[in-house]
Amino acid sequence: MAKLAGKRALITGGTTGIGLATARRFVAEGCRVIITGQNEERLAAAAKEWDQQVIPVLVDVRSLANLEALAVRVKEEFGDLDILFANAGIGYFSPLEQVDEALYDNQFDINVKGVFFTVQKLAGLLKEGASVIVNASAVNEKGASTGSVYFATKAAVRSFARSLAAELAPRKIRVNALSPGLVRTSFQDKLNLPQEAVDGFANYVMQTAPLARLGQPQEIANAALFLASDESSYMTAADLVVDGGYMNV
């Protein structure tokens, strides 16, 4: 039996990488999915893969008006929601002295404000027993040179899972963080870092993580499926770290 048969999900940032892999996994398990992205071309390219099971919606998560319009569209298409995966995010790395206000604001607007208001605007459509997943990162309890702003956004996202789990519990809605380690996606092309720095970090992870490799988007999608399905029915406010052991060893 399909694990998400008859369910309906919203995945923000479903055009590439982890979000797209999760949409594929959810559809394969019988779920109808709305994916969002802010880039029209990537959204159209992702949606081409499906016929009716996946509906693409153009949304910039920095815009509350866009998120309100998304809620209206979700209501029209699905009525209500079983699964919300607030996944859209980006990482900008920069030395302390080079972080300007625009970099800081944009990073927090996408990763923190975007996640918070995605959950707020969609909360009214969540069914009793729904699952909310917020995409944090294995680095949410860590620090690193040039990563101060990005890492802080992910600490905030992990924190949201704790408080929102408490707030939505009376409706039997579970809220968990999903924290990937380093996963090869287009995320690495947008980091604002020279290629040798990106490769250097990847090599460091591969040398230190017990599994000695980077993750695949499908492996994060498998974990998202677990959190989305009833198989994780006793989990809320938790952080599911999927990082090849990097953070713990």
Ligand X SMILES: NC(=O)c1ccc[n+]([C@@H]2O[C@H](COP(=O)([O-])OP(=O)(O)OC[C@H]3O[C@@H](n4cnc5c(N)ncnc54)[C@H](OP(=O)(O)O)[C@@H]3O)[C@@H](O)[C@H]2O)c1
- Strand, helix or coil for residue 196: helix
**β pairing state of 174-180 and 239-242:** parallel
* Both tokens assigned to 12: 């923000």
CB 15 within 8 A of CB 46: yes
| CB nearer ligand X, residue 127 or residue 219 | 219
Do the beta carbons of residue 160 and residue 193 sit within 8 Å? Answer: no
Rounded least distance, CB 28 to ligand X, Å = 18
Site residues (vs ligand X, CB under 6 A): 13-19, 37-39, 42-43, 59-62, 87-91, 110, 135, 137, 180, 182-183, 185-187, 190
Amino acid identity, residue 171?
A: R
Among residues 129 and 200, whose Cβ is nearest to ligand X?
Answer: 200
CA distance 155 to 141: 6
Q: Which residue has tokens 């996946």?
A: 54
Structure tokens at 242: 């999927």
Q: Which is nearer to ligand X, 110 or 175 (CB)?
A: 110
Beta bridge partners of 132: 84, 175
- Residue 202 bridge partners (DSSP): none
Longest dimension (CA), the chain: 54
| Residue 92 known to be catalytic | no
| Rounded CA separation 201/68 (Å) | 38
CB of 14 to ligand X, least distance (A): 6
Q: How far apart are CA 34 and CA 17, in angstroms?
A: 16
Nearer to ligand X by Cβ, of 21 and 125: the residue is 21
Least distance to ligand X, CB of residue 85, Å: 10
Catalytic residue, candidates 104, 150, 204, 234: 150
For 22-91, list the strands marked E by DSSP. 32-37, 54-58, 81-86
**Least distance CB 43 / ligand X (angstroms):** 6
Of 37 and 244, CB closest to ligand X: 37
- What's the closest the beta carbon of residue 136 comes to ligand X, in angstroms? 7
Which residue has tokens 């998202």? 224
> Which positions are annotated as active-site residues?
150
